[in-house]
Structure 1
Amino acid sequence: MTDTPVRFAAAQFFSGTDVTANAARCVDLLTEATAAGARLLVLTENANRVRDYVSRQQCWELSEDLDGEFVTTLRAACARLGIWCVAGVDVRAEAPDVHISSLLIDDRGELRHVHRKHVLWDYEYTLFVPGDEPLTVVHTELGRLGLLMCADGIVPDVPRLLALQGAEVLLNSLNSRGPDEMRVHVPLRAMENRVWHVSANTVGGPADAWPWMGGSQIVAPDGTVVAAADEETEQIIWADITPAVARDKTVPGLADVFAWRRPDLYADLLADLADVPVAAMYGPAPADMAPMPLDVATLQVSWFHNRDWTVTRALSQVKYAAGRGAKLGVLPELFCFRPGEVATDPAAAARFSAQVLARLGEAAAEHGIWLVAHLVESDGERFYSTAWLLDDTGAGALRYRRTHLSDDDRSWATPGDDLPVADTTIGRIGLMIGTEVWVPEVARVLAVRGAEIIAHPCSWDRPEAAHIAATERTEENRVHLVSAARLDNPAGVGSQILRADEFGPYQPIALMRYPSAVWSRHGFEEQLLVRLDRREAHSKMMGHHLDPVASRQPAIYGPLAGLSLK
């Protein structure tokens, strides 16, 4: 069944305080979706009732039971209409605990699965209790379905666990006021896992209040938006999708997104929350922590005319950046080689790289600047795609051999075996190379190891790598990300620096969850010079209550590191 098209739908609307009216509205939406030929309709989070609670006790009193009127009404409608439904419902546990829950109801009215939201959004921690059970994929005639809810998708772990366990379609009930859902989270969780993603968000609300953002979407495994709602109107969207398409994890020209994972390197993600370096960075930055400014420059230069001239231009960029006050400069991916050149003769590339690395070391010492350079390294008969961090004396402070090789790299490079972070006088720095931005575990491990800054030599493979994937890596980990792009990158996007953006009073919702960025133009040898404050990376808060790093649940993350569920 799952290798034939199935019509999935999503409805966005606003639930008020009248639970009976909300139930009737949901039945109307189910009826409309059925008439449109949909087999499954996703409803929003807390479809049962708007949250105007002033205490946990009131929240419990006004929430639902699984055998209560609201759920029973939905089940009866699904059975009568012959349609599946996913609905967000705030469900009582033992008083005063309430779980934000997603209910999967089949076309016979049977309650097939209850997902309890694992990651709560900010104020929700004051009213609700997060779920902590292992994630479950439900095998159905419509496909392999994985349920998540809103903030579950603003971090990589829940969608990744569902996808690794075989989910073909993610069904996401949201209650979001942020513009980042439809622009970042929903499409990226589809792309990085190669799954379908159906999202239904609340829309509208009181006239003089920050509105719920709507923007419900159905996104294909390659990131194509096949159906989308606007950000203002109550409406239903639908699309015919073939769930089995999600079983092919291949991104043409890049990799199989699951086969290129390195579970052997992700043990840090299973460690107890208190036993990792980032534990000292949880929560807000200490009130007495002074600013820790660092001037960082992207040295946007890559192969032009010939290799010698390219190196000369790079050295000129180093001198110029240091003269402007930069303390750290980052060069692009394999900057001194033509695209594809290394693969034709990696031994020659390694010999030339050694010369370039020596000259960069001399320049670093002469100008008193730290540098990140991505070149080719030889070790016996093996070759590595290696990024070096050189200190301001020209000495090597960190060497990172690329661990996640793309299809192009595999023809010549040997994968590395570590994701190191260097504790230096200019901060805790991790390195990431090129398309590794698409692997959520890379930045996640570096963050868990305490990185304040991730330096990222790159050649953007598509615009979404910068505007979606890189944005998310900063947002979900609260680290600075410095991406220096080749002049000739396929995406036609310039270098980018993303800030960790310390949360503070009066910060708009958009900035809580959508890190600020600075870009340079594509194709020009220009520099970004940005003063980053390392203190920002010591504030992991996304709002008053949510720490997206400390809210991880390592006890159930075994599949991330290749372990089977018990």
Structure 2
Amino acid sequence: MNKLLKVALVQQSNSRDLANNLEKSIKGIKQAAAENAQLIVLQELHRSLYFCQTEDVSVFDLAESIPGSSTEILGQLAKDLGVVIVASLFEKRATGLYHNTAVVLEKDGTIAGKYRKMHIPDDPGFYEKFYFTPGDLGFEPIDTSIGRLGVLICWDQWFPEGARLMAMKGAEILIYPTAIGWNSQDTKDEQIRQRDAWIIIQRSHAVSNGLPVVSCNRVGYESDPSGHSEGIFFWGNSFIAGPQGEILAHAREDQEEVLTVTLDLQRSENVRRIWPYLRDRRIDHYHDLLKIYRD
């Protein structure tokens, strides 16, 4: 029997106006719900600018507790609309202890669970190690009324281990709130290679695990507050892929969009019967994966 699930993602641009950013997210959620979406995914750190372009201690003022004001607002919205929402927040766990956290709001407005970003980058323009402590909740899917969700965040999407562990624990969908973009100093060819690699790696997680993937990126230009760089052009290109990596919906690189598509989760069962990757894994010879590198 088919198990149909209508999913949506909200690709938006952000500004310094926190209230306006949240209103954009809410508007996108309402539009998706009006199109009968049951699961709605927001982009990474959707409440603010991507503040990790610089290291600035005053930015910690943006962090909030979970539960907190954002989960209260989005939880009430989830309840009013009867949808499940995946939101990405700057979590204050304690003074001096912060996480990049995705929280899942259930249809009744409660918090179904949360995931703290495990892989934390530290690159020019992406100084996340200054702000975020690596997650300590592991790669644990979150059970909801619409299925078991494998939620990860941005840099996690480049690591096959996270996707595999989510699949091994019964995730039915892989979900990646994201904030990634171009450096204007890169050539056009290099920009295309980076964007294509980003799409390919996530489609490969769909293929190797036989699961749909929902990847929600931000869009638009955000300047570097320090003036040391030319800022980031977030490349959009949010997409939803099926369990063989097939693109089911794909957003543009320069516009805000709400993407919706109906997934048939039974396809994962069918695909896994044809391509039994889990059956043929040679875990008796994978012990070296526990090493950082084989010298």
Fold shared per TM-score above 0.5: yes
Partner of 1:389: 104
Partner of 1:172: none
Partner of 2:77: 363
Task: Give percent identity, aligned residues only.
Answer: 27
Mapping for residues 185-224 of structure 1, pairs under 5 Å: none
C-alpha offsets along residues 265-319 of structure 1, whole Å, 9 cap, x if unaligned?
A: xxxxxxxxxxxxxxxxxxxxxxxxx111010001112413611111111111111
8 Å contact from structure 1 (residues 301, 486) kept in 2: yes
Equivalent position amino acid for 1:391 in 2: E
1:331 equivalenced with 2:39 (yes/no): no
C-alpha offsets along residues 367-399 of structure 1, whole Å, 9 cap, x if unaligned?
A: 111100111111122101100011111211111
Partner of 2:262: 531
1:411 equivalenced with 2:130 (yes/no): yes
Partner of 1:348: 61
Mapping for residues 269-284 of structure 1, pairs under 5 Å: none
Equivalent position amino acid for 1:377 in 2: E
Equivalent position amino acid for 1:559 in 2: D
8 Å contact from structure 2 (residues 237, 253) kept in 1: yes
8 Å contact from structure 2 (residues 50, 179) kept in 1: no
Distance 1:375 1:387 in 2: 6
Distance 1:564 1:356, change over 3 A: closer
Partner of 2:184: none
8 Å contact from structure 1 (residues 437, 469) kept in 2: yes
Partner of 1:475: 207
1:541 alignment partner, SS class: helix
Query: What is the deviation of 1:547?
Result: 1.4
1:301 equivalenced with 2:21 (yes/no): no
1:415 alignment partner, SS class: coil
Distance 2:246 2:277 in 1: 14
Distance 2:14 2:293 in 1: 46
Partner of 2:219: 487
1:313 equivalenced with 2:24 (yes/no): yes
Query: What is the deviation of 1:441?
Result: 0.5
8 Å contact from structure 2 (residues 39, 85) kept in 1: yes
8 Å contact from structure 1 (residues 558, 564) kept in 2: no
2:240 alignment partner, SS class: strand
Partner of 1:63: none
1:373 equivalenced with 2:87 (yes/no): yes
1:438 equivalenced with 2:130 (yes/no): no
1:500 equivalenced with 2:243 (yes/no): yes
8 Å contact from structure 1 (residues 496, 520) kept in 2: yes
Partner of 1:515: 246
1:428 alignment partner, SS class: strand
C-alpha offsets along residues 23-80 of structure 1, whole Å, 9 cap, x if unaligned?
A: xxxxxxxxxxxxxxxxxxxxxxxxxxxxxxxxxxxxxxxxxxxxxxxxxxxxxxxxxx
Work out which structure has the larger RCO, using CA pairs closer than 8 Å and 6 or more positions apart in sequence.
2
Distance 1:305 1:376, change over 3 A: closer
8 Å contact from structure 1 (residues 370, 389) kept in 2: yes
Mapping for residues 141-220 of structure 1, pairs under 5 Å: none
Query: What is the deviation of 1:424?
Result: 2.3
Distance 1:343 1:295 in 2: 39
1:541 equivalenced with 2:284 (yes/no): no
Distance 1:352 1:421, change over 3 A: closer
Distance 2:273 2:157 in 1: 21
Distance 1:473 1:541 in 2: 13
Partner of 2:196: 464
Query: What is the deviation of 1:490?
Result: 4.1
8 Å contact from structure 2 (residues 45, 88) kept in 1: yes
* Structure 1: 5+ residue stretches without partners: 1-289, 502-513
Distance 1:490 1:469, change over 3 A: farther
Distance 2:90 2:31 in 1: 25
Which is higher, the Rg of structure 1 or of structure 2? 1
One of 107, 126, 142 as aligned partner of 1:422: 142
Equivalent position amino acid for 2:104 in 1: L
8 Å contact from structure 2 (residues 71, 105) kept in 1: no
Distance 1:400 1:374, change over 3 A: same
Query: What is the deviation of 1:465?
Result: 4.2
C-alpha offsets along residues 105-154 of structure 1, whole Å, 9 cap, x if unaligned?
A: xxxxxxxxxxxxxxxxxxxxxxxxxxxxxxxxxxxxxxxxxxxxxxxxxx
* TM-score, normalised relative to structure 2: 0.82
Distance 2:180 2:279 in 1: 30
Query: What is the deviation of 1:494?
Result: 1.8
1:550 equivalenced with 2:279 (yes/no): yes
Equivalent position amino acid for 2:129 in 1: R
* TM-score, normalised relative to structure 1: 0.44
Query: What is the deviation of 1:522?
Result: 2.1
Equivalent position amino acid for 2:238 in 1: S
Cα RMSD (Å):
2.3
Query: What is the deviation of 1:523?
Result: 3.0
Query: What is the deviation of 1:346?
Result: 4.5
Equivalent position amino acid for 2:113 in 1: L
